[in-house]
Structure 1
Amino acid sequence: MEVLLLQTQTRLYTSNHNLWILLHTQLVSCVCAERPVAVLILQPNWTKIFRGETVTMRCDIQGGGDTDWDYRWIKNSQSFRPFHTKPDHRISPVYRSNSGSDTCEGVKGNKLSNINDAVQLTVSGKSI
């Protein structure tokens, strides 16, 4: 949480070119809450899965208060599903092309969440 203090200075000039300075100090306080953080959670809870399985990604907005968020899904730094209204994104079946770096972001009006560290998803062939 931050507290902002602001000081202003006002200068007044007279008509006979004498300089008069009036210092006006104004303290303004602002209690600014930190932005909520979007955390990507995988179900099942591991980053290495086999081709053909199902994975569900959940965007959990931590510190975001109510649940009135939209979600932006980001794969390898590219938005691939902007402004989805549900916090879950299910991929079934997964393919090797689903491998990569995944994150999500919460969007609420003109507010954005912070983005947490990306999850590196690896899809490999079936085990023998």
Structure 2
Amino acid sequence: MRKETSTNAINEKQLNDSCGMAYSLHVLGGRWKPAILCRLSYGTWRFGELRKNIDGISERMLVAQLRELENDKVIERLVYPEVPPRVEYRLTALGETMRPMLKAMSDWGNMHRQTVNPVEVSEPA
């Protein structure tokens, strides 16, 4: 946790306040948020399903990233009063508006990856 009065924190706040793209990347950025949002763009997922489906993410990191996305009003957490408790996550109405952007980012990333690192096709012998 860095101090809110540090030069770095002040610069980040000024940039996020003045640039929509920087703010979008602040909300979406990180290693795990794109993977979480990708899954939730297909529908509602339970916590355990997300954890099993996202290779390499720890339970602690998944909880932290879900909380950040929930605080940003992009996803919502649904808790059902059952024993054992059932918790589900889904995109909010605001999160739903991100679908075209997430699709465009995915398409661009796939195109860029293929352009920069083309898969070598071997000739049949």
TM-score, structure 1 as length reference: 0.23
Higher relative contact order (CA 8 A, sep 6+): 1
Higher strand share: 1
Which of the two has higher C-alpha Rg? Answer: 1
TM-score, structure 2 as length reference: 0.23
